[in-house]
Amino acid sequence: MNHNFDPTVLREYDIRGIIGETLGPDDARAIGRSFATLLKRAGGSKVAVCYDGRVSSPILESALVEGLNGSGCDVVRVGMGPTPMLYYAAASANDVDGGIQITGSHNPANYNGFKMVFQGRPFFGEDILTIGRMAEAGDWIDGVGGVEDRDILDEYIDRLVAGFGDIDQSALAGLKVGWDNGNGAAGPALEKLAARLPGEHHLLYTDVDGNFPNHHPDPTVEANLEDLRALVAEKNLDFGVAFDGDGDRIGAIDGEGRVIWGDQLLMIYAEELLQRMPGSTIIADVKASRALFDHVSAHGGKPVMWKTGHSLIKSKMKETGSPLAGEMSGHVFFADEYYGYDDALYAGVRLITAAARLGKSVTELRGAMPNMINTPEMRFQVDESRKFAAIDEVKERLANSPAQVDGTDGVRVTTDDGWWLLRASNTQDVLVARAESESEAGLERLMAQIDEQLALSGLERGESVGH
């Protein structure tokens, strides 16, 4: 017995496809067989399984469990919940060797997919390709496994609340926060968490609805933060927090309605952490603002620029012993007092505690940040066969340039005007561009450099495409 996946679903960081077109129950079953076989061969035997609120998730979960059992692994079903609740199950339970979350994350409602943890480490890249090869060859152990249901929601909430540490919560009684769950999988967890937090909390769209009737659950798109912005203004709140569809990415709005982007949130977290852990290494992806790297240095930390991708960042954290990392996309990873994975609910708690420890409001902290002028992330279609080659050509042409060229992930070029970035997406046939300057004229000059390099490789920016 074997199985062939649609080639488009095996991605760099997860497995993802369109239900009924490129992904279905047979794929879920095959993922279970391959993952369980790998785990058994590595000496493991028990997998936690969780699923998000998408309409297709329960069917995929059932097939996945069948596949895991079919190759001899026992399954701990933790039910419907956000991806970080699955990560918590895998990190905190002594008897669990791996975890799989069924989630379409921030993708449209007809998508779904799988995020995986293997014996405490991220499972991505070559691991995912291995799953595909094993399925194609039918290289599966046959076996029998058991299934148990385990309700970990309350335990998970206890762990989130423990994020307040030694802070006197009574001092936060006047705090007022808005939360937008966007009908994603974190709804029930958010309701329980908010009931335990100090201060006054106003919640939007906590009912889980895989059709996302109010707005799309992607907090990196400013239009999706409009309802939260209106709530903050109407109720005169201190700030607002938004989640993506599976609760592993955070977005935020300050009390004046300004967006606090992923790298700006990291500036707040880093400033607070460096007071407690001087000299720490703080990691951010290549899309992050220069202001963040300068801020980390100014507060005595060691900034490290690394490749985009939550699995790549998590691996780099382990390698460097970094207690904090983040991405522009809103993934924030805390390993100082937490497990090192991305959890937007925990990041929300840590935003409250960071402001309290720094003795400043979130609005003050956002207001103190330098006013950089930057482009949004621009994504444009490029043939798969050209996307990496084009980046290599740009690197070669700039090898002897007076500008500072960083090739960590694509090409990031720093000039007197600021910086620009060109990188190939690991998950789609697109190139990603971004630029940042302190002036509009500087930004124009940087964009002209991007266009010049693209033209020299026979490409043009064209219209930006979605995720």
> Among residues 266, 311, 271, 321, which one has the least CA distance to residue 288?
266
Catalytic site residues?
A: 105
Distances (CA, A) of 416 to 287, 288, 373, 459: 18, 18, 14, 26
Alpha carbons 217 and 220: distance in angstroms, whole number: 9
Q: For the chain, first and last CA: distance in Å?
A: 35
> Exposed, middle or buried by CB within 10 Å (0-12, 13-18, 19+), for 170?
exposed
HSE, CB side, 13 Å, CA atoms: give it for residue 99. Answer: 29
Displacement of CA 145 from its chain's centroid (Å): 32
> Which amino acid is residue 291, in one-letter code?
A
Alpha carbons 404 and 111: distance in angstroms, whole number: 40
Tokens for 327, please give them. 């991405």
> Which amino acid is residue 399, in one-letter code?
A
> Among residues 376, 407, 410, 408, which one has the least CA distance to residue 390?
410
